[in-house]
Structure 1
Amino acid sequence: MRLSSITIDADGSPSGYIAWYNHSTNASRIRALRPSVRNDRYGVQRMEMLAIYFALADNQRNIWRMAEDQSKKRVVVNLRSDSKTSIEQLQGISEVRDDLMRRIYAAIRSLLERMAYMIVFNHLDRTRNIAGLLLEQRRRKEEERRIAYWSEKGIYAFSPLLITPRSRAAFQPHNYSNALAKGRLHLDYGDAQVKSVRFFVSSSERHAVG
């Protein structure tokens, strides 16, 4: 019996988004979930595992239809992730140590039991993960919209990567506090040099620096 392969990439972000991309149908989806707790030991792994779960759950119908259309072929679903730990856990090589991840793992296994197909989990490099590229593209678009929004209001977001040599002195501990209080610094934004622009700093950040 010949084999027919369905390849799906999955990726998750601690910011609360997961994505999958089906190479066989060119379909994709990004879901917004609850962001992981900052500095959580298993936060990133949970999101990666959730991405794999939804990649399977959302594609159940597509997989079933393709299997029906190719009844003379054995369908193999190749689910890929750049999280080596998650893949090894699903392959049974590594142990799942987190309680919440065990629940996600159990949900994935429950899905697999209802699928009459061969499901294989494979690791791939992050640069080849289309789902990860979709999340990165989304992050960049959000950043561009944020910058455009504040630019329209004549206010620029502060980024330490944009400090010019002339403003470096302002970032000494004592000068930085004064600069925060005034809310004005000399920064570079790409090719255009902007003098004495304003920026937003949260009250907590201002307190931490001052």
Structure 2
Amino acid sequence: MKNLFKLLFAVLVTAAVFTSCMKDNDNSWYEEQQKELQRIEATNKEQAPLLKQYAEQYLGENRKLDENSGIWYEVIESPEVPEDKKYEFFTSSGQIYNFALKAKYEGRLVKEQGKPFDSSTEPANFTANGLIPAWVRAIIPSTFNLNGQTHEVGGLTEKGLQVGAKIRIITPSTLGYDNKDVKDKDGNIKIAANSPLDFTIEIVELKRAQ
């Protein structure tokens, strides 16, 4: 179940959700989750060699692999932020606030050698519950402390991203748009199902969602 949480926590990433899942004794639910986990693991395993090759070609020497998620990443900029200006991701009970952010970004298709499919040179508005899981993992910290104990929540970096940070991530499709096509307004396929993706993300503003 620990690996299931790391792979499927997706957007909300809260301890409460995980706890409720652990308490669910319905066999059909458990079987469905096991099948879903197997599908995700198989997809990640299949895409791993491509992601490694792509990361070695397009990321710098400071690239890292997050083995829990299969995401390759490189922190491009990580400015020092005064303590009183830092965004606090967690509630006192360890849940993650639904945050809002403004970000500049570019998205590229890994299978098409980095062909751009979307970008914004002006800050675009997002909320955590509207992001793909890979973006959430890129932004939040890897752990939080509660009652003297350290708990993993799946972020890529120790302290998460703050305003001014810039990161590039290469993610398996399971943490992007998974096995669904993404179409443009005219109905043309913009991102094919099972597409691993490459994003550069620059955080311009980060705050709690209203």
What is the TM-score with the length of structure 1 in the denominator? 0.21
What is the TM-score with the length of structure 2 in the denominator? 0.21
Q: Indicate the structure whose relative CO is greater, using CA pairs within 8 Å and at least 6 residues apart.
A: 2
Bigger Cα Rg: 1
Structure (1 or 2) with the greater helix fraction: 1
Structure (1 or 2) with the greater strand fraction: 2
